[in-house]
Every structure is written in structure tokens, then in C-alpha cells.
Copies of this chain bind each other. A is one copy, B any other.
């Protein structure tokens, strides 16, 4: 009889573990964190291409894909961005940066709103691809701050009609940064507000 109880509890334990296990994608979503501490290691162009390919998989309004991406690995440019951008100091230790550029003229109905939303969706894909490859990244905002946008435009030769949405330092994380617990049941309404 005792034996059956033991089997029963082992069964409960195993099914509990199986039930609580997220799939790999949801694990990556939960493990993604804003990484502010990097080892200084370089990021390969192959990894950056994979990451940007993931970015371009995001949906866009009426499939307009109103985006361009600048991938920076040149140490001098990374340091210049770090020097001039108050919120992107971590670029001194990061191995690369991705700058997401929004193109309002290419967006559905030429709307800046759609260019920003579409590029934001690409940005989350980028952050998740980064995490999935064992790298770390963080969104530092340029838009909607005019000074920061102009600083980024100047350093990277970006035309005035293009919006540098964000500067994302990317690199090998030291491991200091951890994901935040942000789930809050109060943010969910069922059926109506």
C-alpha cells in the first residue's frame, strides 16, 4: 500500500513539473532582461545578422516594413555614442549596437505612429533574439527626445526625415542583470474594462 502512495506522489511531482514548464519561447520572454553590464567581448556579424533577421520578422501595418537598421561594431563609433548619449554609457563595454530607424514615409498612410509601432515590434524581436543567443541587450530611447535623435543622426549620418527610435547596446552579459517580476493580475480585465 505504502508503495502505491510513493508512486502516486512521484506521479504528482512529475506532472506538477511538466505543468509548470514553459516552452522555450516563453522561457526566453521571461528570461529577457535589460542588460547594463557587458564583458567587453565583441559580437560577431553573423550573430548580428541573425538578430536583425529576427527583427524583420515583426508584423507591420499593411506590410509596409517602414524600417532600417544600423549595426555598429566599430569601437570608435560605439565609444562616441557612449560619450554623447547620457543613457547609453554601457556602450563603452558593449560589443555592438543596433539602431532601429523608423521611416514614416514608408509607413502605412505615411503615419509616424505606424512607423514607431512597427519598429517597436521589431525591437522586441531583436531583444528576444539577443537573449536566445546568450547575449544581452537594452533599449535606450532616442525618440521622442529631439536632442538625442539629433545626436544619433549626426554621429551615424542618418538623414533628417528618418527617426532613430532607439540605440540598443548589445554584448556578452556579465550576469549581474536579472529579469524583473512584472506580472500583475490587476492589469487584466476580463471581457470588459
Contacts and interface: CB of A to CB of B under 8 A. Distances in A.
Interface of A: 22-26, 28-30, 32, 34, 45, 49-50, 52-54, 56-59, 61, 63, 65, 67-74, 77, 101, 111, 113-114, 116-117, 120-121, 123-125, 127-129, 131-133, 138-139, 141, 143-144, 156-159, 162, 165, 179-180, 182-184, 187-193
A25 B128 contact: yes
Identical subunits present: 2
Contact of A59 (B58, B70, B139, B162): B139
B129 A29 contact: yes
A114 B113 CA distance: 12
Query: What 9 pairs across the A-B complex have the smallest Cβ distances?
Result: A24-B24, A120-B120, A25-B132, A124-B124, A25-B28, A113-B144, A121-B124, A157-B193, A70-B189
Contacts of A188: 49, 52, 68-71
Contacts of A139: 59, 121
A116 to B, nearest CB: 7
Secondary structure of the A side of the interface?
mixed
Contacts of A165: 117
Contacts of A23: 24, 132-133
24 contacts: A25-B129, A25-B131, A29-B57, A34-B59, A49-B188, A52-B187, A57-B179, A57-B182, A61-B141, A63-B182, A71-B190, A72-B190, A73-B190, A74-B191, A77-B191, A111-B144, A113-B143, A117-B120, A117-B141, A120-B120, A121-B121, A121-B123, A121-B124, A157-B193
